[in-house]
Amino acid sequence: MHIPDGFLSPSVCITGYALTGGVTWQCLRQIDRDRDIQANIPKASLLTAAFFVASLINIPIPPTSIHLIFNGLMGALLGYYAFPAILIGLFFQAVMFQHGGMSTLGVNAIILGTPAIAAYYLFQQRHLLRDKKPFLTTILSFASGAGALLLSATMFAILLVTNISPDMDINAERTAIFISLGGYGIQAVIEGVFTVMLISFLERVKPELLNS
**DSSP structure string for 9-47:** -HHHHHHHHHHHHHHHHHHHHHHHT-TTHHHHHHHHHHH
> For residue 138, which amino acid is it?
T
Q: From start to end of 16-123, where are the E strands?
A: 58-61, 64-67
Give the contacts of 27 (CB within 8 A, at least 6 positions apart): 80, 81, 83, 84, 117
Domains of the chain: 10-210 (1.10.1760.20)
List the chain pLDDT tens, one digit each, 212 residues.
Answer: 788 888 888 999 999 999 999 999 999 999 988 877 888 888 899 899 888 887 777 766 665 666 788 999 999 999 999 999 999 999 998 888 888 889 999 999 999 999 999 999 999 888 776 556 678 888 999 999 999 999 999 999 888 888 776 666 667 667 777 777 777 888 899 999 999 999 999 888 887 777 65
How far is it, in rounded angstroms, from Cα 210 to Cα 123?
10
Query: At 188, is the secondary structure helix, strand, or coil?
Result: helix
> Which pLDDT belongs to residue 17?
96
